[in-house]
Amino acid sequence: MKRIKLLVLAMFAFLLGNAQDAVPEMSDALRQNGKIYVVVTVIAIIFTGIISYLISLERKISKLEK
């Protein structure tokens, strides 16, 4: 069992080391075109919608519990 854990840890460390060298080209292109703000805005809208849905769901559940 220790061998498996050590192997997984070594693979994870290797992947982290290789991930540092990679440069994301898509983010650079989006930043140059100004479209990164559109992406961030859409993600913020989706996140806000999920949070508001969860709050309304919690209120409905609280009413049902009472």
Domain membership flag for residue 6: no
Which is higher by pLDDT, 44 or 36? 44
Question: Is 57 a residue whose pLDDT tops 60?
Answer: yes
Q: Is residue 47 part of a domain?
A: yes
Assigned domain for 10 exists: no
The answer to the question of residue 62 being in a domain is yes
Spatial separation of the C-alpha atoms in residues 6 and 61, rounded to whole Å: 45
Q: Which residue has the higher pLDDT, 38 or 17?
A: 38
As a whole number, the mean pLDDT across the chain is 82
CB 26 within 8 A of CB 35: no
pLDDT in tens, 12-35: 777 766 555 556 677 677 778 888
Q: Is residue 57 part of a domain?
A: yes
Residue at 64: amino acid letter: L
Residue 53, Ramachandran bin (φ over 0: left; ψ between -120 and 50: alpha; else beta): alpha
The verdict on residue 55 lying in a domain is: yes
The total number of structural domains that make up the chain: 1
First and final CA of the chain: distance in angstroms?
Answer: 49
Query: Is residue 3 included in any domain, yes or no?
Result: no
pLDDT the model gives residue 23: 62
